[in-house]
Amino acid sequence: AGLDALWAAVQADVARERGAAAWLRSRPTPHRTALAAIGASLVPLLVWWLWGRSDRAVYPVGRWVLDLAVLLSPVVVALAVVMRPIHRPSWPRWVERAVVAFAAAAALVGPMLQPAHQDHPASLGGTGDALLPAAAVCMTLGTLLGVPLLLWLVSLRRQAERWSRPAWGVAAGAGAAGGLSIFLHCPIVAPEHLLLGHATVLLPFALLAWIGLRR
pLDDT tens string 6-47: 566 655 665 555 666 666 666 777 888 899 999 999 999 999
Model confidence at 185, pLDDT cuts 50, 70, 90, reads: very high
Give me the chain's average pLDDT, please.
88
Distance CA 189, CA 103 (A): 20
What's the one-letter identity of residue 199?
A
All structural domains of the chain with their residue ranges: 22-214
DSSP string over 138-193:
HHHHHHHHHHHHHHHHHHHS-GGGSSTTTHHHHHHHHHHHHHHHHHHH-----HHH
What span, in angstroms and rounded, lies between the C-alpha atoms of 9 and 40?
A: 33
Contact 81, 166 (CB under 8 A): yes
Give pLDDT, residue 114: 97
- DSSP 3-state of 54: coil
Higher pLDDT, 40 or 166: 40
The percent of residues in the chain predicted with pLDDT above 70, rounded, is 83
